[in-house]
Amino acid sequence: MDKVVERRFLEAARRLSSYFPEGDFADDEQPDFLIPTGAGQLGVEVTELCHQPEIDRTKRLGYVAPRAKEIYSKRVDAWPIFVNMVFSRDAEEMSVGDLAKGLSEFVYRHRDTPGTFSWDRCRDLPAGFSMIVVAEPLPHRPGGEWLYQKGFRGLLAEKHLLDACLADKSSKVTTYRKKATEVWLMIINDQWRGAGEVYVDPERAASWTFDSPFDRLLLFCRPLARPESVLELRKAY
């Protein structure tokens, strides 16, 4: 998560809650932000709660389209074309190279017969795909464009996922305290992020307690169908 996005969440959290003091947050590192207070400086570290294996899975598939386009462009009589695709579950077990090769060969065969080709209506659809669209280039992309649709799995976040997130940051609190007299951790649960998304049930999270050296633990929730909220997680004393 880059600094601009972190600040956006931090300012949104301040609008939603009375936890934060007034004043400007200064960009920093270790922790991410500092704000002067009457007692010294408040440091706020911002981190995101997500499922890294899911992010890695979809990131890998993102290499297929550009590699397939490169292979296709080197073929004789290849011309600019628009391609969109949807991966099937089989894609997770296949290499990027095999997926790209199968896609490029399919597009080359169908470059002069545009259409939408789905698994239930097309006999030569390559393995790893459930649908492929081959069409004329869009007016604003005359050189052609190759896109893909990412599927992802949203996961219910159990307490152990939050514990792991805390453990990763808790080891750095001593460093943070060199700059700040009080140190908070704000965990972002952004349920709009797509791949790697997890869902924290606020009611369940409110019943959990956590061992942490941070002075305050905050959970910023950005749900799909409800307003954003800030929850203070309970510490075990």
Q: Is 189 exposed, middle or buried (0-12, 13-18, 19+ CB in 10 A)?
A: buried
In the prediction, which pLDDT does 54 show? 59
φ, ψ for residue 144 (rounded to 5)?
90, 155
Taking only the tens place, the pLDDT of each residue in 58-117 is: 678 889 999 999 999 999 899 999 999 988 888 888 999 999 999 999 999 999 999 999
Q: Which two tokens stand for residue 230?
A: 């800030």
- For 204-216, the pLDDT digits (tens) are 998 999 999 999 9
